[in-house]
Amino acid sequence: MISEVWPPRSPDLTPLDFWVWSHLKQQIFTQDFRPRTIDELKDAIRRAVAELNEDEEVRVRVFGEFRRRLEKCVRRGGQSVERR
């Protein structure tokens, strides 16, 4: 069995870090209605995640980017893909 080493924290390779969180923040805080309470914020997050889950085109794009970043990391010998 071949064991690959995966960095414990690599935000440049993690879709949640390189795309999802910023997308959710943009969806929630750039709309006309801004959450004023924790409950409003939770509802806004749930709506934004539900919309994201329904958008297959977005999922395909994000996972395509994930694959591209993994391949770039391999070409760079494990170095960060966001560094030049």
Residue 63 domain-assigned (yes or no): yes
Q: Answer whether 82's CB lies under 8 Å from 12's CB.
A: yes
Residue 66 has pLDDT above 80, yes or no: yes
User: Is 73 within 8 Å of 7 (Cβ atoms)?
Assistant: no
Domain coverage including residue 47: 15-75
For residue 1, the model assigns a pLDDT of 46
Q: Tell me the pTM.
A: 0.66
Q: What pLDDT sits at residue 72?
A: 87
pLDDT tens-digit map of 8-63: 667 778 888 888 888 889 888 876 778 899 999 999 999 999 998 899 999 899 98
HEC string for 32-77 = CCCCCCHHHHHHHHHHHHHHHHHCHHHHHHHHHHHHHHHHHHHHCC
Count of structural domains, the chain: 1
Q: Is residue 62 part of a domain?
A: yes
**What are the tokens at 28?**
């929630």
In a domain, 81, yes or no: no
Residue 2 inside a domain? The answer is: no
Mean local confidence (pLDDT), 57-74: 89
